[in-house]
Amino acid sequence: MAAGFTLIELMIAVAVAAVLLGAGLPSFRDALRGNRAKAVASDIHLSFLLARSESLKRSKDIDIVANSSNWGNGWKVKIQSDGTELRANDASKGVAIACATSPGGSSGTCGSTITFGRNGRPTQYTEFRTYIADQESVQARCVSISLSGQPRVTIDSDNDHDNGCN
């Protein structure tokens, strides 16, 4: 009996490994994309929390401002009166960001600045939707800030990011 594998056994093992890898790769790719959308939603959530807490702590208006008037290019949390930057977020590569000013409202209606007043409340309801364009298998995440100032993260269940997270 020979020690080791024959060429045929080795080829069968390689073929089985290739089939298993090919079957698992799409779901792994979706998991990575889902994690990217989740990370951007977490960054938005943290920015909302920071703006709210800093507005209360400093008793000053705090702005969250989109870079180049486009939330997908990143944003900054700033003190409105003197422009001091408290937090900066870079562009979200591969993740689309849509925005609405009402729950379930159509996307694209937000301005480039969200202001938290000295009382820790935003001047308007805002909902950001983070998703992977053309990837319905990856669920969108919605981060909303109510008029009371409490941020909330939800997951889209109907795979239609344009109508919010249902």
Structure tokens at 29: 């790719």
pTM of the shown model: 0.79
* Separation in Å, CA 165 to CA 129, 133, 151: 8, 15, 14
User: How many angstroms separate the CA atoms of 27 and 114, rounded?
Assistant: 36
Q: What is the pLDDT averaged over residues 23-50?
A: 84
Q: How many CA atoms lie within 13 A of 75 on its CB side?
A: 27
Q: What is the pLDDT averaged over residues 119-134?
A: 89
Which run of H or E residues covers position 99?
strand 96-100
Q: What is the pLDDT of residue 94?
A: 86
Confidence of residue 2 (pLDDT cuts 50, 70, 90): low
* Third-level CATH fold of 8-163: minor pseudopilin epsh fold (3.55.40)
Q: What is the pLDDT of residue 24?
A: 62
Structure tokens at 12: 């069968």
The ranges assigned to domains in the chain are 8-163
Q: What is the pLDDT of residue 25?
A: 61
Place of tokens 């889209």: 156
Structure tokens at 92: 């979200």
pLDDT in tens, 135-154: 777 788 889 999 999 899 98
CB 62 within 8 A of CB 114: no
Structure tokens at 74: 């990143």
pLDDT in tens, 53-111: 999 999 999 999 999 988 999 999 999 999 999 999 999 888 989 888 887 777 776 88
Burial of 13 (0-12, 13-18, 19+ CB in 10 A): exposed
